[in-house]
Amino acid sequence: MIHPNTEVKMVNPQIGLGVFATKFIPKGTILYVVDDMELIYPKDHEMLRSEKYRPHIEKFSYTDQHGNRIVSWDYAKYINHYCDFNSISTGYGFEIAIRDIEAGEQITDDYGALNIEREMECGCGKSNCRKVIRPNDVVTYAKEWDEVIIPALKKIHENEQPLLNYVDDETKGKLDYFLKNNSGYLSIKELFYNRELEHKNYSLNGVAQSIKKTL
Ligand SMILES: [Zn+2]
């Protein structure tokens, strides 16, 4: 679920739609949360083997740390990637504003934290543009990203948080523990889903199956 003080607008014909703030959103605001209404396709879901549906699911989903494809039921799926993002995923199942966002500003995040399946060229044109966004960027940049996430998390109880209600109690407990004790932080790198391992497991299974058949 996306924060209520947002709207979808056309960015330009090349980029297409994007999500924009309709009011000032302060740093430390939860902008997106995985709620119970999200459409979740586990990695072995038949829709992901469907030639008809897979391209659409790929285009509008991201992959969580368990390999599930998640398609947002609302317009959170239109958040664009910019290398100087103002919002980013966290190890707590939500995205947070890492700086103040003005009314009218586009809300952007980093697709490097979303387990993209293959490398993606980036033409965001920002001075810190990485040019290529890679599936394992969340591991490569975890330290750098955690350093901007933590100060935002520390402001979480200073702001109005309409989405906090949709964060599950266990996660809220872990977050409050970290905020109180400054330990037990869930790093963004927890979001990494290792596809290579998955493919290896699949091929090992394949080998096991064919050995079984041969026997
Ligand atoms: Zn870029």
pLDDT for residue 199: 66
Taking the centre of ligand 1 as the mean of its atom positions, its distance from the CA of residue 85, in whole angstroms, is 9
Going by pLDDT thresholds of 50, 70 and 90, the confidence category of residue 211 is low
**Residue type, position 153, single letter:** L
Task: Report d(CA 62, CA 51) in Å as an integer.
Answer: 18
pLDDT digits (tens, 9 = 90+) for 26-55: 999 999 999 999 999 999 999 999 999 999
DSSP letter at 38? S
Q: How far apart are CA 115 and CA 135, in angstroms?
A: 5
Contact call for residues 147 and 72 (beta carbons, < 8 A): no
Residue for token pair 């200073």: 158
C-alpha 85, offset from chain centre? 12
The answer, yes or no, to whether residue 203 has pLDDT greater than 90, is no
Model pTM greater than 0.85? yes
Task: Domains for the chain: give ranges and CATH numbers.
Answer: 6-214 (2.170.270.10)
80 CA from centroid of ligand 1 (Å): 11
Distance from Cα 120 to the centre of ligand 1, integer Å: 10
The pair of three-digit structure tokens given for residue 154, joined into one six-digit string: 């520390």
Centre of ligand 1 from the C-alpha of residue 117, in Å: 17
Checking if the pLDDT of 195 tops 70, the result is yes
Chain centre distance of CA 144: 16
Secondary structure letter of residue 117 according to DSSP: S
The pair of structure tokens assigned to 215 is 């026997």
Asked whether 153 and 178 are in contact (CB, 8 A), the reply is yes
Q: Are strands 6-12 and 87-89 parallel, antiparallel or unpaired?
A: unpaired
Question: Residue 197: which pLDDT band, with cuts at 50, 70 and 90?
Answer: confident
